[in-house]
Structure formats: C-alpha cells, structure tokens
Amino acid sequence: MENPTNPIFNSLKTLPEEDRSLILVFTDKEIMSGVKYCKQHDEFHTRKGDVKKHLIHQWAYADEFYAQLKLPEFPKEQPKRQGLDETIPQLFKILFAAAAMAEKESEQEKKGFRFH
C-alpha cells in the first residue's frame, strides 16, 4: 500500500489481484467502477473495453472502497418484476380501451362532428 493518506489506493507499481472488482482514479480526476484486472492480457477490462494504463493514477478494490464510504449495504437481489401472468390481462384491458375509443371517434366522424 503506497498512499499514506488513504491506504486502500495503490499506484500501478502494485498490480491488483486478478478478477476482483476495482475502482480506478484517472489522471484527469475521473473515477470508474466495474473494472477488473486481467493478468493474462496485462490489461484492465471493463464492459465497454480496455482501459489504457497510462491514464490510470490509482486504483482500489471496490469492496474496500465502498466499505470506507460506509454506505448502506447494497441489495443482493433485484426486486421481482411483475410476472407475465399479471401483465398480459392488464395489456388486454389497455388495448381494448384504446380500440373502443378509436371506434367511438370513427363513429362520430361519420356523423359529421369530432369528439375532442
């Protein structure tokens, strides 16, 4: 650990463990999460591509970084979405109402006045 003011941050002189989630701090003071170091390629991988090493100022393990922020624990499971069994009848009701309104409008157009 090379940073005496905040020991969780490291420079690139110390490479992180492979496949652990990282937080990167860039030389332009931008911060990026969701990064992993790949020892085989000697690269920092993200979902959007690789990060150029010369742009990285420091890195920290994400779990240590978040623990230091003392944030509430992140939910482990996403809330369940409404199932299709519940959604399909609601969609039919909406479609039926839209069709009824369209039919009502076309009847009024035939009579010579518009429904607003």
pLDDT, residue 92, reads: 75
pLDDT reported for residue 19 = 86
CA distance 102 to 22: 55
**Quick one: 33 and 60 in the same domain?**
yes
DSSP state of 4: S
pLDDT at residue 108, as a whole number: 59
Report d(CA 64, CA 44) in Å as an integer: 18
Same domain, 19 and 66: yes
Which stretches of the chain score pLDDT less than 70?
1-6, 74, 77-86, 104-116
Residues 90 and 37 in one domain: no
Same domain, 46 and 102: no
Full residue range of the structural domain in which residue 91 is found: 80-111
Spatial CA neighbour of 11 closest among 27, 33, 32? 27
pTM for this model (two decimals): 0.59
pLDDT value at position 1? 46
Torsions phi, psi for 40 (to 5 deg): -60, -45
The verdict on 6 and 56 lying in the same domain is yes
The answer on 60 and 39 residing in a single domain is yes
